[in-house]
Chains A and B, each alone.
Chain A
Amino acid sequence: MSGASVARAVFAKDLLLDFRTRDRLGHMAVFALLVVALLSIAVPASADERRAWSPALLWMVLLFASLLGLARSFQSEAEGGALALLVQAPVDRGWVFLGKAAANALALFGVALWTAVLFTVFLDVDWSEAWRPALAAGALGALGLAALGTLLAAMSVAVRFREFLLPVLLFPLVLPVLVLASSITGAALAGRPVPGLWWGVFALYDWVFVVLGYLVFDYVLED
């Protein structure tokens, strides 16, 4: 029994549940739609101002939308007592974390793409010259949010005030992801080159939390 096959099984199961129930993805997508529609009214109408505001707003929308999804990422386990299955997996439980974090990262990346489309429709953001760095920032941002969010969601799954606890724990830790992702997106939209250091720091931050999650998940899953 290899850890990688357990991670793949957890990843495939989470995707199947996401596509079957559509709860998580649907809630995140509708939330993003409503907020971006409201922003299109509230944000100044000039193209320059919209371009300046859009990167930060896009990542704020994504952060709040991701909270909805991350808070529910262990709900299917909590409801039927299925957490016991994951705890009993006959491998290092870090592999379970990798499977769940990968499924969360893919879901959040999908929501990031959807939000980018919404920004084009409602706020006239033009991605044609910026799509490559923006896509890479979206992937790194989704991975960072997913790694941190999966770990913290697992820690708060049995807590009474988990809807409150998750953002309180997540927001301070996710700040570097938010700053780096919006800075890179802003530079890309403005046609400026993105410094290599930003990519390096972003990838390192993600990597630290993926490794940390892998190492501590064994203890997090046990009650």
Chain B
Amino acid sequence: MSAVELRGVGKDYGPVRALHEISLALDAGLLVWLAGANGAGKSTLLRVLGSLTRPTRGSVSLFGVDPFRAACAAVRGRVGFLGQEASLYGELSVAENLHFCARLRGVAEPELEPIAAELELEPVLHQRVRTLSQGYRRRAGLARALLGSPSLLLLDEPWNGLDAAAGERLTRLLVRKRDGGAVVLVAAHEASGPLPRFDRTLRLEGGSLSAEGAAA
């Protein structure tokens, strides 16, 4: 059984076809690059995998269950998602946001400190998110996505807003997550800067999977 499996997935927004007949299977312990130009459907595909957007057609299976079924909702706790926004409350501090997300996902509080330390968030932990720089906001969003050691990590342009040192730390972190058995799916385009060595590449064009490579 693959960790992630999509069969004939399509997503329409009215007359616009955002995804078309996507079928793929990803095993555990892979670092996967989701490549493609702007508007190719990368973010939509990540949102479908993160159970944020229900596909119009086809089926999604995460760790053997359909995440859109209320009875299988617990599987959403195994997915960490970082979209183009940090998905945090601006009027709450970073620590309050992380505590809230931990409660929402049933994650034990002691997990928060190591994640905050790993992403060097300690100086801003008690600052409200709306006062943070773009880079810190991005790191706080990453910390939120990493809560609960997800088995599937979905990251949309995670290097955006990070300086070179923070970007390199993130790359090492993603590799460690992959080595720990997680599926790490990263949407990024070539202009995002130096990217890590991926195990597989999925290339989207116009909402369709156009090519797949073993390594990039």
Contacts and interface: CB of A to CB of B under 8 A. Distances in A.
B52 A88 contact: yes
B50 A88 contact: yes
A6 B81 CA distance: 18
Interface string A78-94: 01111111111111111
B100 A80 contact: no
Contacts of A93: 70, 73
Interface stretch (B84-92, B119-127, B159-167): B84-92
Q: Residue among B74, B92, B144 with the most chain A CB within 10 A?
A: B92
Interface stretch (B24-32, B102-110, B198-206): B102-110
Interface in A6-34: 6, 8-10, 13, 16-17, 20-21
Interface string A131-160: 000000000000000000000000000000
A1 B89 contact: no
B72 to A, nearest CB: 10
Contact of B52 (A5, A80, A84, A90): A84
Interface string B130-156: 000000000000001000000000000
Given A17-B92, A84-B52, A223-B52, A90 B73 contact: yes
Contacts of B106: 1, 5, 90
Contact of A222 (B53, B83, B86): B53
Nearest to A86: B104
Given A17-B92, A85-B104, A223-B52, A1 B77 contact: yes
Given A88-B51, A91-B74, A80 B104 contact: no
A78 to B, nearest CB: 10
A17 B88 CA distance: 12
B73 A80 contact: no
B161 to A, nearest CB: 14
A76 interface: yes
A98 B88 CA distance: 21
The 8 A-B pairs with the shortest beta carbon distances in the complex, nearest first, are: A81-B85, A1-B106, A90-B77, A9-B103, A90-B76, A81-B87, A84-B87, A92-B70
Interface residues of B, number: 34
B101 interface: yes
A80 B82 CA distance: 12
25 contacts: A1-B106, A5-B103, A9-B100, A9-B103, A16-B96, A17-B89, A20-B92, A76-B89, A77-B89, A80-B89, A83-B87, A84-B81, A84-B83, A84-B87, A85-B101, A88-B76, A89-B76, A90-B76, A91-B73, A93-B70, A222-B52, A222-B53, A222-B54, A222-B68, A223-B52
A9 B89 CA distance: 14
A218 B104 CA distance: 16
Contact of B88 (A8, A20, A80, A90): A80
B94 interface: no
Contacts of B182: none
A81 B86 CA distance: 7
A7 to B, nearest CB: 10
A223 B84 CA distance: 16
B79 interface: yes
B129 interface: yes
B91 A20 contact: yes
Contact of B87 (A1, A80, A94, A218): A80
Contacts of B85: 80-81, 84
